């Protein structure tokens, strides 16, 4: 009987442990940090993780097919530079900038997928190469400089274009919700993307087949599924989501800042991996990824309000990730099998 | 004149509740090739693993040249002179190193070897080894650039550098051509002259006829037959390996319906003779053949995984040439693949999702999955096949092997098919589940042609209306499964026939 109790306690810990930890953190900060338990602070948390979260939801799709996408950070910064270039240098509309970024993300994802599926390059190496390539590529048009109105172009002209208001609206506008100017557009987009990816992965047969591919690729192919198509699709989703993140970053900054977005890759991968631990899933899942991103956001916001210095942030994120991975792999029997 | 090289006495070995070896007694005389035959699961590999120090026996004793022999590790067995070449070639070679390093790798691992490699000396020694082996490869070539056959020869050559007293070869010719196999057999002759005892594990009758001095048959963890007369009784050995009672199950043969799938002029490998086969509605055909018989090639061609070397297929009278499994499934041709762990099970899914996997489009609306439809399908299959489980929500990995296999077969029975291929459907399945699966396949076979691919003849006899025997890509027998035909089927299966000529004359 005591063994029964023990195992049911363990099951409970695996399933709800991480969510309880999140609730505990929120309660603790509400008492310990003044002003933490307020709508504005909650929105700030959502806002701080919205871009990372969108990227993390994209990388979740590649994790589902047992792949990995290291290029998401550089796709996002490429989208940042591309949107600035289209509007500031080419003086085109916000709509053109957005479409150009989304197409760029889709193409990069497609090329990643083809490299992995057709050229048989291992996923980590293919996307590492793509990451490198994009980091270099985004510097070439402006000779390595940031893009802003009035900058000198390589041919000696001055850039005359400006960020359009409708583009900046994406990053800066706040909707009224009970309180005036409460919810920023990026938060809406983050939630929307989360719901869409969740629906796709959990409720459609395409998502189900992608999970099957991640578990046993050969078996899924022998069941008649077009494995190559689904794997490429996963990387396209990841690329497009990363470019959405880049557009939001660009709209928030209002300039093509070459030095921005350095942390995006690590933060979003961490969020997706932390997501494995949520509800004992022990596998990539959209809900877990969103919770993972919020968990990091809550922790950083709380610590910041308690005057923890900024340079401890990465240490905190790393610790959360390690703990989450222990939840996933050491505690659950599912994880134990995939862990080797 | 023949000394006893190795003697095995009363070896017992269990894995958990499974008794794999029950008191095995085996003598291996020096200077003789002893062939070990046995069906899958008979305990051959366990016995080999005990001899080469991978596993320790529970009880029993072994002697090597009169001295007690009880290896606690593979290295220990090497030291004593027991050298094993395992079936999986890539365990025997290191693909990223060149031939010379591979041949001399054991020398490199010795502590007495210096810190730096003397490349020239290494190559010189490797050349000597290669020369004794009659091995014609560039010692500077990298293993991964070589074909499977060369790799296999190198793995064997590597074993030779250890001066074995007992050499164990596990299916050594499974990737060799007839020519290369001859080279290996010549080498075995030389070794025999040097007094090496050889334990040769094989399924291939042509090999066995070329090399065997003695045949030992194993079944269910025991030695079921020993043949060492001057004229070896091959058919007797096969019967001993398969068990005494070779009889059909008591069912009436299904009447043949209209022809559904026709295969014309099919050529399975480069040296085989093309043949025709027709599969009829309501009929269950077993394709029986050992490893390398070409049954996998045939199954793969029908399911669109590869194409026939030559020949064509028609389905309902129309040309049928699937390019991938999806084409085959669309055309109504389903396959339940062999080796469920690698090829069929989605271990992270529960039973109901495993069952629905190939037909998710039947269970969804605008791509959205209808949960109820998947659950109903699962409940139906579970009750029809008698899957023992708590509910359709159980993870599939919690089921026993037999029940997992029921789920894998049930997956393809849930939607009506025109042709159903089952590749080794009884692999790793207990007798009860095997009956359940067999009965269900027979009772549901009315509207389709069913083709079962099996290596074990008794499984074929248990389920089929017609048995087709394949041997190294040739169709060597096509019989109704009746009592009158039984002895014919058995003799074709064991390769004892005058109607076709063996390509491997004894040298």
The predicted pLDDT at position B447 comes to 92
Nearest to A208 among B335, B337, B360 (CB): B360
Q: pLDDT at residue A141 above 60?
A: yes
Percentage, residues of chain A above pLDDT 70: 96
Q: Assign A3 a pLDDT band (cuts: 50, 70, 90).
A: low
The domains of chain B are located at 4-242, 246-332+417-500, 342-416
**Residues 6 or more apart whose Cβ sits within 8 Å of residue A100:** A82, A83, A86
Nearest to A205 among B329, B345, B364 (CB): B364
- A151 or B160: which leads in pLDDT: A151
pTM surpassing 0.80?
no
CB-based contact, A302 to chain B, within 8 Å: no
Q: pLDDT at residue A335 above 50?
A: no
Span A272-291, average pLDDT: 90
Question: Domain B246-332+417-500 class?
Answer: alpha beta
Measured between beta carbons, which residues in chain B are less than 8 angstroms from residue A212? 346, 349, 353, 357
Mean pLDDT score of chain A: 90
Reduce the DSSP state of residue A277 to 3 states and report it: helix
Q: pLDDT at residue A22 above 70?
A: yes
What confidence tens digit (pLDDT) does each residue in A102-114 have? 999 999 999 999 9
B347–A337: do the CB atoms touch at under 8 Å?
yes
The predicted pLDDT at position B371 comes to 93
Mutate to test the interface with B, among A199, A206, A222, A230 (most CBs of B within 10 A): A222
What confidence tens digit (pLDDT) does each residue in A317-326 have? 899 889 888 8
User: What is the chain B residue with the closest CA to A283?
Assistant: B348
User: What is the chain A residue with the closest CA to B368?
Assistant: A204
Please list, residue by residue across A202-214, b when 16 or more beta carbons sit within 10 angstroms of its beta carbon and e when fewer do.
Answer: eebbbbbbbbbbb
Question: Domain B4-242 class?
Answer: alpha beta
Nearest to B347 among A215, A220, A226 (CB): A215
Mean pLDDT score of chain B: 84
**B243 phi and psi angles, rounded to 5 deg:** 105, 155
Domains B4-242 and B246-332+417-500 share a fold: yes
What confidence tens digit (pLDDT) does each residue in A40-68 have? 899 999 999 999 999 999 999 999 999 99
The predicted pLDDT at position B507 comes to 32
- B224 or A184: which leads in pLDDT: A184
* Residue B25 exposure: Cα atoms within 13 Å on the Cβ side: 4
* DSSP state, residue B313: E
Span A314-340, average pLDDT: 70
CB-based contact, A283 to chain B, within 8 Å: yes
Span A275-284, average pLDDT: 87
CA separation (Å) from A120 to A112, A116, A197, A228, B174? 11, 5, 27, 11, 28
Count contacts between A and B (CB, < 8 Å): 70
Nearest to A216 among B325, B345, B358 (CB): B345
C-alpha B344/C-alpha B339 separation (Å) is 7
Q: Do residues B92 and B86 touch, judged by C-beta distance below 8 A?
A: yes
ipTM: 0.85
A211–B360: do the CB atoms touch at under 8 Å?
no
CB-based contact, A340 to chain B, within 8 Å: no
Nearest to B353 among A206, A208, A283 (CB): A208
By DSSP bridging, strand B419-423 and strand B449-454 are parallel
B346–A218: do the CB atoms touch at under 8 Å?
no
Calculate how close chain A gets to B364, using CA atoms only, in Å.
7
* Residue A188 exposure: Cα atoms within 13 Å on the Cβ side: 13
Q: Do residues A136 and A274 touch, judged by C-beta distance below 8 A?
A: no
Please list, residue by residue across B123-157, b when 16 or more beta carbons sit within 10 angstroms of its beta carbon and e when fewer do.
Answer: bebbeebbeebebebebeeebeebeebbbbbbbbb
What are the residue ranges in chain B where pLDDT is below 70? 1-2, 17, 39-41, 88-91, 174-175, 177-178, 203, 242-250, 291, 431, 495-507
Which two structure tokens, joined as six digits, stand for A97?
A: 């900038």
Mutate to test the interface with B, among A199, A202, A208, A339 (most CBs of B within 10 A): A208
Which domains does chain A carry? 2-338 (1.10.3470)
A222–B329: do the CB atoms touch at under 8 Å?
no
Q: Where are the alpha helices (DSSP H) in B171-233?
A: 178-193, 205-211
C-alpha A299/C-alpha B99 separation (Å) is 57
The predicted pLDDT at position B256 comes to 86
C-alpha B304/C-alpha B306 separation (Å) is 5
The predicted pLDDT at position B41 comes to 65
Reduce the DSSP state of residue B4 to 3 states and report it: strand
- Structure-token match 């004793």, residue found: B61
What confidence tens digit (pLDDT) does each residue in A74-133 have? 999 999 999 999 999 999 999 999 999 999 999 999 999 999 999 999 999 999 999 999
Nearest to A218 among B303, B343, B369 (CB): B343
* Type and span of the H or E element at B343: helix B340-343
């Amino acid at each position: 009987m005591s063994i029964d109790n023990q195992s049911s306690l363990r099951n409970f810990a695996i399933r709800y442990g991480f969510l309880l930890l999140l609730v505990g953190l929120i309660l603790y900060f509400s008492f310990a940090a003044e002003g933490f338990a307020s709508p504005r602070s909650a929105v700030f948390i959502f806002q701080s993780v919205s871009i990372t979260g969108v990227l993390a939801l994209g990388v979740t799709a590649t994790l589902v097919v047992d792949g990995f996408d290291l290029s998401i950070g550089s796709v996002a910064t490429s989208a940042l530079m591309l949107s600035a270039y289209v509007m500031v240098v080419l003086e085109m509309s916000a709509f053109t900038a957005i479409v150009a970024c989304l197409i760029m993300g889709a193409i990069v994802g497609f090329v990643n997928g083809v490299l992995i599926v057709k050229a048989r390059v291992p996923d980590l190496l293919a996307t590492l190469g793509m990451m490198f390539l994009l980091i270099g590529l985004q510097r070439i048009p402006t000779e390595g400089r940031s893009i802003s109105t009035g900058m000198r172009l390589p041919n000696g002209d001055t850039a005359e274009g400006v960020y359009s208001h409708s583009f900046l609206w994406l990053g800066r506008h706040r909707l009224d919700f009970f309180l005036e100017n409460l919810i920023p557009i990026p938060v809406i987009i983050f939630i929307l993307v989360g719901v869409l990816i969740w629906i796709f992965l959990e409720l459609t047969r395409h998502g189900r087949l992608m999970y099957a591919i991640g578990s046993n690729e050969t078996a899924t192919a022998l069941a008649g599924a077009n494995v190559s198509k689904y794997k490429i699709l996963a990387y396209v989703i990841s690329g497009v989501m990363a470019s959405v993140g880049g557009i939001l970053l660009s709209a928030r900054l209002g300039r093509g800042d070459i030095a921005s977005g350095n942390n995006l890759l690590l933060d979003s991968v961490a969020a997706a991996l932390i997501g494995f631990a949520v509800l004992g899933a022990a596998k990539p899942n959209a809900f877990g990824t969103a919770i993972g991103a919020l968990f990091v956001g809550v922790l950083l916001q709380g610590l910041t309000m308690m005057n923890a210095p900024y340079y401890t942030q990465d240490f905190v994120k790393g610790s959360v990730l390690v703990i989450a991975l222990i939840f996933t792999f050491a505690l659950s029997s599912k994880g134990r099998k995939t862990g080797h | 004149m023949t000394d006893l090289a190795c003697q095995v006495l009363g070896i017992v070995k269990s894995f958990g509740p499974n008794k794999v070896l029950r008191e095995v007694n085996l003598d291996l005389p020096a200077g003789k090739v002893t062939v070990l035959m046995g069906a899958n699961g008979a305990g051959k590999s366990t016995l080999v693993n005990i001899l080469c120090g991978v596993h320790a026996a529970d009880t029993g004793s072994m002697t090597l040249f009169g001295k007690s022999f009880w290896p606690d590790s593979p290295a220990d067995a090497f030291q004593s002179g027991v050298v094993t070449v395992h079936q999986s070639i890539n365990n025997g070679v290191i693909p990223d190193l060149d031939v010379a390093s591979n041949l001399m790798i054991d020398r490199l691992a010795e502590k007495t070897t210096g810190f730096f490699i003397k490349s020239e000396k290494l190559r010189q020694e490797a050349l000597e080894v290669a020369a004794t082996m009659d091995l014609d490869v560039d010692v500077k070539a990298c293993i991964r650039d070589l074909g499977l056959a060369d790799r296999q020869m190198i793995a064997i050559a590597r074993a030779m550098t250890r001066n074995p007293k007992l050499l164990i070869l596990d299916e050594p010719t499974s990737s060799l051509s007839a020519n290369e196999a001859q080279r290996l057999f010549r080498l075995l002759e030389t070794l025999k002259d040097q007094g090496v005892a050889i334990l040769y594990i094989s399924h291939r009758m042509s090999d066995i006829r070329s090399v065997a001095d003695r045949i030992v048959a194993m079944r269910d963890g025991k030695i079921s037959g020993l043949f060492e007369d001057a004229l070896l009784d091959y058919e007797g050995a096969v019967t001993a390996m398969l068990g005494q009672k070779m009889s059909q199950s008591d069912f009436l043969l299904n009447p043949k319906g209209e022809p559904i799938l026709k295969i014309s002029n099919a050529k399975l490998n480069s040296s085989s003779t093309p043949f025709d086969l027709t599969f009829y509605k309501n009929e269950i055909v077993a394709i029986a053949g050992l490893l390398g018989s070409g049954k996998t090639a045939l199954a793969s061609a029908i399911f669109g995984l590869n194409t026939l070397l030559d020949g064509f297929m028609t389905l309902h009278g129309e040309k049928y040439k699937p390019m991938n499994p999806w084409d085959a499934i669309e055309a109504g041709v389903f396959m339940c693949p062999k080796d469920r762990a690698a090829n069929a099970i989605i271990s992270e899914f529960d039973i109901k999702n495993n069952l629905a996997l190939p037909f998710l489009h039947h269970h969804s609306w605008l791509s959205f999955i209808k949960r109820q439809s998947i659950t109903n399908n699962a409940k139906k299959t579970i009750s029809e096949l008698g899957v023992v489980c708590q509910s359709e929500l159980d993870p599939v990995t919690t089921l026993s092997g037999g029940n997992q296999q029921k789920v894998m077969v049930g997956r393809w029975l849930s939607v009506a098919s025109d042709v159903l291929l089952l590749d080794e459907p009884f692999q790793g399945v207990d007798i009860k589940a095997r009956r359940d699966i067999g009965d269900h396949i027979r009772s549901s076979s009315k509207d389709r042609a069913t083709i079962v691919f099996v290596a074990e003849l008794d499984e074929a006899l248990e389920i089929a209306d017609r048995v087709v025997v394949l041997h190294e890509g040739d169709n060597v027998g096509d019989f109704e499964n009746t009592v009158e035909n039984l002895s014919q089927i058995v003799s074709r299966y064991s390769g004892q026939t005058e109607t076709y000529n063996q390509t491997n004359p004894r040298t």
